[in-house]
Structure 1
Amino acid sequence: MIEESTTARRGRGRRPAAEVRAGVLAAAGRVFLSEGLRAVTFDRIAKEAGSSKVTLYKWWPSPGAMAAEAYFAQTSRVLEFADTGDIRADLVSQLTSFVRWLTDEGVAGPVSELIGAAQLDPDVAAAWSEQYARPRRELARERLRAAQLVGQLRGDADLDVIVDQLWGACYHRLLVLRVPFDEELVPRVVDQALYGAARAE
């Protein structure tokens, strides 16, 4: 569910900066996820959030960078990484949440636009890498390391490659092959990453 924007506080006096920023990000997230990246402009979001356009220029170098941060804010609660003690179950659960977010919530199109913009806009690229991709990758690595420590994964397992296999499979289908996919893919991808394709001895 996409959050509604924060309405301006009635009465005199300034709103706290954190409240203004949260309202701007909520408005930008709503517009971005429902209408796409081109709809996110400083004029549009300032009006939606009841904020000053000057403030938006001060906080973000481009509308694309603002849209990126708004997307990250939207995903933080959706893509939480559980630790139940069962690494396979936790990977299936987390990757299923990711695939549902892209497909059932209709986010695949806007996300594709954002990743495409990151190839041309260095501000969007930096935001995507530093604020989203690397932190989310580290969350996955932490969960895999925990599984490694209790013997659920081999001690020499390459955790970075496992992450690439899991989320890379989704992004490859979304961005390169551009073929439909849904959560039924997830258990197969997880089993392939964890157990491989070699014949059992």
Structure 2
Amino acid sequence: MPQLTPGADPPPRRGRGRRPADQVRAEILAAAGNLLLAEGMAGFTIEKVAALAGASRMTIYKWWPSKGALALDGYFSVVAHTLAFPDTGDVVADLTNQLVAFVHLMTDTPAGRVISQLVAQAQTDPELAAAYRERYSAPRRALGVEALTRAMARGQLRDDLDPEVVVDQLWGACYHRLLIPDQPLTEDFARALVDNLVRGLRGEIGPGKP
């Protein structure tokens, strides 16, 4: 079960000395992620992040060109551990565990509400849409593609499958239920998604096979 702490304060600053750049950046990301989970995009501002992190707006804009870019990096910084892709050598178990973790993150924490808001706002905000692709969806997709490609190289999956399509089949189905909730997004659904694909991914079903 993912453990997130929206609204938690960033680590306290020690002393009056100048903080290393890496520390400042980490504290800005922590502040941005926690603020986003606590208040959503409606309450997310550069000014609030700067105040929480004890950083200047100029410093933030040096690293992030827009509010959307900062929001996405902050979001990913607080969910990255939960969404880390395991590599145990058993691709079916890894796919199942990752998809189940993703579903719990979306349904049991504020992360699902936040990502829904980001997706919705990106439809009319080209800058946010570009940041979403570059800073969140593309890196997330790459993790799934890499895991599937490794499994293909190990001979665990068919060598002619398209990893990009499999990523869309699995995570796209979860996003569909998250954004169009006519059916619930549940752990059972995530497990069924993987189970329904396993035989095809392993080559147990193919042309001319029953």
TM-score when normalising by structure 2 = 0.86
- 1:30 corresponds to 2:31: no
Are the equivalent residues in 2 in contact too, given 1:61–1:123 (CA < 8 A)?
Answer: no
For residues 179 and 52 of structure 1, the distance between their equivalents in structure 2, rounded to whole angstroms, comes to 44
Q: CA deviation at 1:49?
A: 1.3
**1:97-143 deviations in Å (ceiling 9; x for gaps):** 11111111231111111122222333322222122212221211111
For 1:46, the equivalent position in structure 2 comes to: 50
The unaligned stretches of length 5 or more in structure 2 are none
- 1:9 corresponds to 2:14: yes
Are the equivalent residues in 1 in contact too, given 2:103–2:186 (CA < 8 A)?
Answer: yes
- 1:164 corresponds to 2:173: no
Which deviates the most, 16-25 or 55-64?
Answer: 55-64
Of 134, 138, 151 in structure 2, the residue corresponding to residue 134 of structure 1 is 138
Q: CA deviation at 1:194?
A: 2.8
- 1:117 corresponds to 2:121: yes
For 2:103, the equivalent position in structure 1 comes to: 99
Are the equivalent residues in 2 in contact too, given 1:7–1:23 (CA < 8 A)?
Answer: no
**1:56-81 deviations in Å (ceiling 9; x for gaps):** 23322222221111011112211111
For residues 23 and 163 of structure 2, the distance between their equivalents in structure 1, rounded to whole angstroms, comes to 38
Counterpart residue type for residue 145 of structure 1:
T
Counterpart residue type for residue 96 of structure 1:
V
For 2:66, the equivalent position in structure 1 comes to: 62
Q: CA RMSD in A?
A: 2.1
- Local SS of the residue matching 2:11: coil
TM-score when normalising by structure 1 = 0.90
For 1:191, the equivalent position in structure 2 comes to: 195
Q: CA deviation at 1:178?
A: 5.6
Q: CA deviation at 1:144?
A: 0.9
Are the equivalent residues in 1 in contact too, given 2:69–2:135 (CA < 8 A)?
Answer: no
Identity %: 46
For residues 196 and 160 of structure 2, the distance between their equivalents in structure 1, rounded to whole angstroms, comes to 17
- 1:88 corresponds to 2:92: yes
Counterpart residue type for residue 69 of structure 1:
D
1:178–1:59: structure 2 CA closer, same or farther, 3 Å change rule?
Answer: farther
Counterpart residue type for residue 94 of structure 1:
Q
- Local SS of the residue matching 1:78: coil
Counterpart residue type for residue 163 of structure 1:
V
Are the equivalent residues in 2 in contact too, given 1:69–1:127 (CA < 8 A)?
Answer: no
Counterpart residue type for residue 48 of structure 1:
L
For 1:147, the equivalent position in structure 2 comes to: 151
For 1:20, the equivalent position in structure 2 comes to: 24
Are the equivalent residues in 1 in contact too, given 2:69–2:128 (CA < 8 A)?
Answer: yes
Are the equivalent residues in 2 in contact too, given 1:141–1:163 (CA < 8 A)?
Answer: yes
